[in-house]
Amino acid sequence: MAWTVESKRVTYCPTCGESLESREHDDRPVPHCVECDLTLYRNPVPMGRATVIDGERALLIERGRGADIGEWVLPGGHLESDEPPRVGAARELEEETGLSVRPEDLTLVGDGFLDFGDGLTMVSFNYAVSRDVADGTVRAGDDAADARFWSREELRTNTPLLRASGLEQVLAGMDAVNRS
């Protein structure tokens, strides 16, 4: 059994509580418990993200919590342990924006790798869906401070507000949904 950790510094074994040592694995040091033979890896955390496309506008949320508070991003978050990315993206979309969609209506528009520089990395599966198939009224929920549609022009002129990996995914989502 291997554990994935989100911190650069791990001192004690999460299973038995003993002090961790370090061992080489694939030419890099990893935390290891000699007592119970547990190795901890720093793998990226999987997440699902989705945006709703309304013509030439895309729905984004403003982060209301966490290290990236104030940033405008695709609605999304961590996947549950029993949840495929598409299902998690639909769940997160509803939690953060009030709009619900069927997971099978989501179109995969890309993936991304996020490195927060503090030991936390994420891999994201990014989806888009037409407003025509989304039910509900847009409202900020869960950890979102705001939720609103952005025009293509607003997206291009406000790129500092958007996390770098998000802009490409939002524009790809617009193109994918508008083609179908």
Indicate whether this model's pTM tops 0.85. Answer: no
E strand intervals along the chain: 2-4, 21-25, 28-33, 38-41, 45-54, 57-63, 72-73, 76-78, 107-115, 121-130, 144-151
The per-residue pLDDT for range 64-113, each reduced to its tens digit, is 987 778 888 889 999 998 999 999 999 999 999 999 999 999 999 988 88
CA-wise closest residue to 148 among 99, 77, 81: 99
174: enclosing H helix or E strand: helix 164-179
Which domains are delineated in the chain?
A: 2-41 (no CATH), 45-179 (3.90.79.10)
Predicted local confidence at residue 162, as pLDDT: 60
Mean of the per-residue pLDDT values for the chain?
86
**Backbone dihedral angles phi then psi of residue 128, each to the nearest 5 degrees:** -140, 155
**Backbone dihedral angles phi then psi of residue 84, each to the nearest 5 degrees:** -65, 155
